[in-house]
Amino acid sequence: MQKGSDTFLFYLGHPAHYHNVSMVIKQLSQKGFRVVLVARGKDVLFDLLKGLPYEIVYLKPRSGNNKLSLIKTVLKREIILFRLALKYKPKMLIGTDIVITHIGKLLNIPSVILNEDDAKEVPFLANYGFKYAAAVFSPNSCDIAPYEKVSYQGYHELAYLHPNYFKPDKSKISELLQGSERYFLIRFAELTAHHDEGKKGIDLEVANELIRQLSPFGRVYITSERKLEEELEAYRIFIEPKNMHHALSFAQIYIGDSQTMAAEAAVLGTPSIRFNDFVGKLGYLEELEHKYQLTFGVPTSKPEILYSKITELLENNILEQDFEQRKERMLKDCVDVTQLWTNYFIENRKK
């Protein structure tokens, strides 16, 4: 970093937020810009940031899940980010949080929200963030009306999992590989974000049926953000957060109640099934499903469709080849998201 170089401040509230901008941050740093990361405690985010060569400010995790605690947390973050903006004098604020838009507006610093969810599914972010942002980046498939967006053909997940930036490596996940035996990944998300309220995912009954159905065809591994029932613990495996995408790449099938990991698996060409109550509500996943057939959504009210889809995939003797072709078709249609974002940030920073 050159002395006196322009500063970009990234606010990270979730592991996915870091993944989204990891390659952009790297490119900005290589071009001589100063990068400051502000991260709040959420899941494995702090683990992902260990050892990175950037200035990092760590914030405490949010306490409580009710609306009052959310308001208190936001107000605290506003004060903290205001002070940090005065200290670092960034040329741009980047992230997926309403706080950067408020501070940016107050201090006349451009703020950019990177958003992949339709506005109706993240009303808090949309109503209290989008309107104050200098720009909202969202894929073509994402509907954020009535707010304007900088639109592009692509997905957040391609900003770090495009073949230009990510190469699957079996040596990173040797503990998962048992000779030539196939393995399946089941993921339980925590579902505690404010937009997850009232949403369901994989319960014990469904998990047991998945294990029964998959076990004859390979090893079953469970990764979970939430506490597991005792009978499922035998299937739990700990994967280093930085190696999770390698694990996704080589899995035969991914099944989970996390939409982000379903999309990650999809752009990697791994068949993915998401079993939650967001099915049909998020444009980017609908496109990955219905245009490219790379992922499949099943609402929690219809577990029989989940089991049927798994059977269909297991009976496909050329599953890997099929999904590799689907992935390549998707990649040909998409822009280089990393380069798009990087160029925009540099060209539109505060002069």
Over its length of 351 residues, how does the chain's per-residue pLDDT go in tens digits? 444 489 999 999 989 999 999 999 999 999 999 999 999 887 789 999 999 999 999 998 776 667 777 788 889 999 999 999 999 999 999 999 999 999 999 999 999 999 999 999 999 999 999 999 999 999 999 999 999 999 999 999 999 999 999 999 999 998 888 776 799 999 988 644 444 444 467 889 999 999 999 999 999 999 988 888 899 999 999 899 899 999 999 999 999 988 899 999 999 999 999 998 889 899 999 999 999 999 999 999 999 999 999 999 999 999 999 999 999 999 999 999 999 999 999 999 997
The reply to whether 171-333 shares the fold of 7-162+335-348 is yes
Q: Which CATH number fits domain 171-333: 3.40.190.10, 3.40.50.300, 3.40.50.2000, 3.40.50.720?
A: 3.40.50.2000
Q: Count Cα atoms within 13 angstroms, Cβ side, for 122.
A: 23
How do the domains of the chain map onto residue ranges? Answer: 7-162+335-348, 171-333
For residue 351, give the nearest of 6, 77, 2 by alpha carbon. Answer: 6
Q: What is the pTM of this model?
A: 0.91
Take residue 211 and report the two structure tokens written for it.
């294990």
Q: Is the CATH number 3.40.50.2000 carried by domain 7-162+335-348?
A: yes
SS (H, E, C) 284-305: HHHHHHHCCCCEEEECCCCHHH
Q: How far apart are CA 268 and CA 270, in angstroms?
A: 6
Length of the chain: 351
Residue 77 near residue 242 (C-beta atoms within 8 A): no
Three-class DSSP category at 120: helix
Q: CA-CA distances (angstroms) from residue 161 to 155, 240, 242, 293?
A: 10, 17, 12, 18
